[in-house]
Amino acid sequence: MRGRCGADLSHHDARFDLSALAGRPLGSPETMTNRFEASGYDRRKFLASTAALGTGALGLVDRDVLAADPPNSSQVVTGKNAQLVVHTSTIPQLETPPALLDSQITPLDVLFVRNNQPLANVATLKPFPSKGWKISLTGRVDKPRSLNAERLAGMEQVEHEMVLQCCGNGRSLFASSVKAKGTQWTRGGMGNIRVSGVRLSELVRKLGVRIGRKARFLTVEGKDIPLPDKEDFEHSLPLDEAMEHSLLATRINGQPIPAVHGGPVRLMTPGYYGTMHVKWVSRLRFEDDETDNYNHIPRYRVPRERLQPGKPIKYTFSNSKACWRMKTKCVVLSPQPDAAVRAGKPLEVRGVAFNDGSTRIDSVQLSTDGGQTWSRVRLNIPSGPFAWYRWSATVTLPAGKRQLWARTVDALGRTQPLDGSIHWNPSGYEWNGVEKIAVTAS
Amino acid sequence: MRGRCGADLSHHDARFDLSALAGRPLGSPETMTNRFEASGYDRRKFLASTAALGTGALGLVDRDVLAADPPNSSQVVTGKNAQLVVHTSTIPQLETPPALLDSQITPLDVLFVRNNQPLANVATLKPFPSKGWKISLTGRVDKPRSLNAERLAGMEQVEHEMVLQCCGNGRSLFASSVKAKGTQWTRGGMGNIRVSGVRLSELVRKLGVRIGRKARFLTVEGKDIPLPDKEDFEHSLPLDEAMEHSLLATRINGQPIPAVHGGPVRLMTPGYYGTMHVKWVSRLRFEDDETDNYNHIPRYRVPRERLQPGKPIKYTFSNSKACWRMKTKCVVLSPQPDAAVRAGKPLEVRGVAFNDGSTRIDSVQLSTDGGQTWSRVRLNIPSGPFAWYRWSATVTLPAGKRQLWARTVDALGRTQPLDGSIHWNPSGYEWNGVEKIAVTAS
């Protein structure tokens, strides 16, 4: 089958996505390292554990998984718009068609989903009850603490408007050089949302936690369940940045965080890629070192130095970095790739642009002549540094096959490479190439 | 007085530049840290040591230092073109006017000079004799080695065409926000030269040196003499990059390296800023850690995070980085700032562009309308990755005061910030703002 955004999804069966539970989920980069090659996979053990859990325990919507038609996104996650692209369904990966992203705030029902591990009753936009939800703080602290999540509501709340983007967003575009492993996201693994909750630094202050001087990382765990024979999902963040920006988020767009998006409490760090916003937070560990958990290395990392497309790499802490701060980029939302447009008539080109929030977007530039000349587009300045900038430009194209190229430049002088595959990496993370949209004007 | 490139040089007397020897040389950033505040400066001790050395020992050209006219550059360094800007003379700092840089290879007689410490008989373009010159290799090696520099000639030679640029080049342009401390270089603290010698990795192989696995840095010392009460000049380089790219260079533009430029042996790492190419090499130390020598920290460092212009910072290894790899930039060589040009007639704009050599320059773009639109210029592809790209464009300007803006974009998506002062740092290192040349067309 071919996905709605043109990605080739023929490599898996979305009806009942066993492969996503089978120890080699789509999108996992095991093949680029030998680290786990020897561990093998005990299929019988997995099937037994799956049977014991039952489909309900895996978070499946109650439906006939043997039905002939693949489920639509509203069947995969209750409450979602039915128009999302279903990449996987058991552990849901849903992509938003660009046309549904053409607003300043992305509504929850169209927001993309990329979960990594199963958890019961999360395939819904309904909130997860916070009653009885405990979060522990451990590691280099004067003494371990346990927090009842309900207490967060009584603390000072802050809100950020921020881009939420899967670091695999745009992965399919790496295929211009060598196809990268994993779910073939096109442009819709992103959204722009309002996130509110309690600053990590405020929580630490309120609880009177004294963090040891040697602690340099915050490692975050969630309550979701590890895949068979896999390490439980977790990520580390640089502690100084976490103390500056991270929130124990409890609301998105003013509502309690839906179960599928990591409620009741998600650790969110504006400017960071989505995977780092650990869902269903259960534990915060203050530690000297970055975790060597499989989900943090080799997964969700990019090489520090340029890699020849197709070349394998064995990641170490020194030759790679975690997918933390988002690269500067823009996405064209309209027209769509391969659209038919009117020749000789004004055509509005629209999109969004963002970076890691550390500096403002200076300009988005558009070229209709293959990069010979570029013109600055109209840019809407958003309310905060981590939000996306909507932009638009009006062009008039002569008849024929044309290319619309768009490039963001931020105030630090960071822009998008003309050929995004220069940042090729085996798992296709952090695509930020110049947008190149082919259209036919007639 | 006002320098030839328009920099305000009134803060020092170029006739006999005592200030450059006085423990607080122009360009040193002591005031941004308290580290050496307490050490004080014993002027009597300095004067005594200066008297003992004699002016000859300080590398002065034999001339009447009490003459009324400041020395020209050919008097400061024998063999140099007389048209260079003399920033300091006792320990010479000479800047090349842009008009003399408009060639692919910069001749030695116009190449800029920025020395840090005195050494006898170096104020000349003549070579330093290599006979009897010893270089030791110490630190994390199986056993220390001593090399007679003459042996280098018998080893495999390689040549790089490369940009040599002082990391203070463009410092005066930071004054658009807050003037940075140090010699007010405009655009001519750079050149493009052919450098040849023996790869560090080849030398290590030839000598059979076994480097310890924990060594991560190469620290390089020269034979020049420390300033009174100051630590001897040295720099550390990341060992992996040094092993890949560094040369024990013995020739520039096919000639033995002139004494003033660090001969007979200079450790040169293409793509790095000039200060890192340590002159008059005497010792190579393979070490676990980056040196904490005053010349390496706090001197010659930039903050990792954005700093408010004018704000002091106390550098640490974690909040700053050494001035290693050069930032992507271009320089307009013609027309000159504030030039009068013909309105309505074709005007050729010419310049050079370069980066750290890790990827190619993708384009240089020119804007004559304040950044609303940009056009790609003609780019000459050089023979190697570390060389500069000459470029030119023809524009026609209407009458009036106009701005020519030029910006480089490399294949990694690195470009120049529209306002270069976003990278402000107390010592004004690594300027790479968009070039903005004001001209009057009539």
Tokens, residue A255:
């509502």
Strands B400-410, B435-441: pairing is antiparallel
Predicted local confidence at residue B68, as pLDDT: 59
B55 vs B426, higher pLDDT: B426
Q: Which residue has the tokens 């995004």?
A: A420
Q: Considering only CB atoms, which chain A residues are within 8 Å of B305?
A: 358
State the smallest CA–CA distance between residue A273 and chain B in angstroms: 19
Q: H or E element: which one contains A194?
A: strand A190-199
Contact B412 A423 (CB under 8 A): yes
| Closest A-chain CA to B434 | A413
A280-330 confidence digits (pLDDT tens): 999 999 999 999 999 999 999 999 999 999 999 999 999 999 999 999 999
Instruction: Report, as an integer, the average pLDDT of B299-321.
Output: 96
Contact B414 A415 (CB under 8 A): yes
pLDDT band at A128 (very low <50, low <70, confident <90, very high): very high
A336-375 confidence digits (pLDDT tens): 999 999 999 999 999 999 999 999 999 999 999 999 999 9
| Closest B-chain CA to A378 | B372
CATH architecture for residues B329-441 = Sandwich (2.60)
Nearest to B417 among A305, A375, A412 (CB): A412
pLDDT band at A70 (very low <50, low <70, confident <90, very high): confident
Nearest to B418 among A371, A411, A432 (CB): A411
Predicted local confidence at residue A37, as pLDDT: 29
Instruction: Report, as an integer, the average pLDDT of B57-70.
Output: 51
A146-197 confidence digits (pLDDT tens): 999 999 999 999 999 999 999 999 999 999 999 999 999 999 999 999 999 9
Q: Are B279 and B133 in contact (CB under 8 A)?
A: no
- Extents of the domains making up chain A: 1-324, 329-441
Q: Considering only CB atoms, which chain B residues are within 8 Å of A419?
A: 411
Mutate to test the interface with A, among B241, B324, B405, B418 (most CBs of A within 10 A): B418
State the smallest CA–CA distance between residue A65 and chain B in angstroms: 45
Which of B420, B193, B405 shows the shortest CA–CA distance to B328?
B420
State the smallest CA–CA distance between residue B433 and chain A in angstroms: 8
State the Cα–Cα distance between residues B267 and B204, nearest whole angstrom. Answer: 14
| Cβ neighbour number for residue A289 with a 10 Å cutoff | 12
Tokens, residue A105:
């705030």
- Out of A29-38, A193-202, B43-52, pick the least confident: A29-38
Q: Is the pLDDT of residue A116 over 90?
A: yes
State the Cα–Cα distance between residues A55 and A70, nearest whole angstrom. Answer: 17
State the Cα–Cα distance between residues B78 and B180, nearest whole angstrom. Answer: 31
Q: Considering only CB atoms, which chain A residues are within 8 Å of B375?
A: 372-374
Instruction: Report, as an integer, the average pLDDT of B161-177.
Output: 98
Strands A339-341, A435-441: pairing is parallel
Mutate to test the interface with B, among A214, A306, A324, A409 (most CBs of B within 10 A): A409
- Give the residue numbers in B contacting A (CB under 8 Å), as ranges: 305-306, 328, 358-359, 362-363, 365, 371-376, 409, 411-419, 422-423, 432
Q: Are A222 and A233 in contact (CB under 8 A)?
A: yes
Contact A418 B328 (CB under 8 A): no
Q: Is the pLDDT of residue B92 over 50?
A: yes
A136-153 confidence digits (pLDDT tens): 999 999 999 999 999 999
Contact A373 B372 (CB under 8 A): no
Q: Are B235 and B322 in contact (CB under 8 A)?
A: yes
Contact A415 B409 (CB under 8 A): yes
| Closest A-chain CA to B408 | A413
Contact A422 B374 (CB under 8 A): no
Nearest to A413 among B372, B375, B415 (CB): B415
Domain B1-324 in this protein, CATH class: alpha beta
Predicted local confidence at residue B94, as pLDDT: 98
Q: H or E element: which one contains A17?
A: none
Under 8 Å CB pairs connecting chains A and B tally to 75
Q: Is the pLDDT of residue B113 over 50?
A: yes
Instruction: Report, as an integer, the average pLDDT of B333-362.
Output: 97
Given the cut 0.85, state whether the ipTM is greater than it.
no
B344: left (phi over 0), alpha (psi -120 to 50) or beta: left
| Cβ neighbour number for residue A55 with a 10 Å cutoff | 16
Predicted local confidence at residue B70, as pLDDT: 85
Which of B427, B426, B407, B429 shows the shortest CA–CA distance to B417?
B407
Predicted local confidence at residue B359, as pLDDT: 96
Q: Is the pLDDT of residue B117 over 70?
A: yes
State the Cα–Cα distance between residues A76 and A92, nearest whole angstrom. Answer: 7
Mean pLDDT of chain A: 87
Strand pairing partners for A389? A353
Predicted local confidence at residue B325, as pLDDT: 98
Contact B417 A432 (CB under 8 A): no
What is the maximal distance between C-alpha atoms in chain B?
70
Nearest to B306 among A358, A372, A415 (CB): A358
Which of A273, A299, A307 shows the shortest CA–CA distance to A421?
A307
Contact A376 B371 (CB under 8 A): yes
Contact A415 B423 (CB under 8 A): no
State the smallest CA–CA distance between residue A423 and chain B in angstroms: 7
pLDDT band at B130 (very low <50, low <70, confident <90, very high): confident
DSSP B129: P
Nearest to B412 among A362, A375, A422 (CB): A422
Reduce the DSSP state of residue A185 to 3 states and report it: coil
State the Cα–Cα distance between residues A391 and A331, nearest whole angstrom. Answer: 10
State the Cα–Cα distance between residues B307 and A141, nearest whole angstrom. Answer: 31
A2-52 confidence digits (pLDDT tens): 333 333 333 333 323 333 333 233 333 333 333 222 333 333 333 334 333
Burial of A199-213, coded b for 16+ CB within 10 Å and e otherwise, reads: bbebbbebeebebee
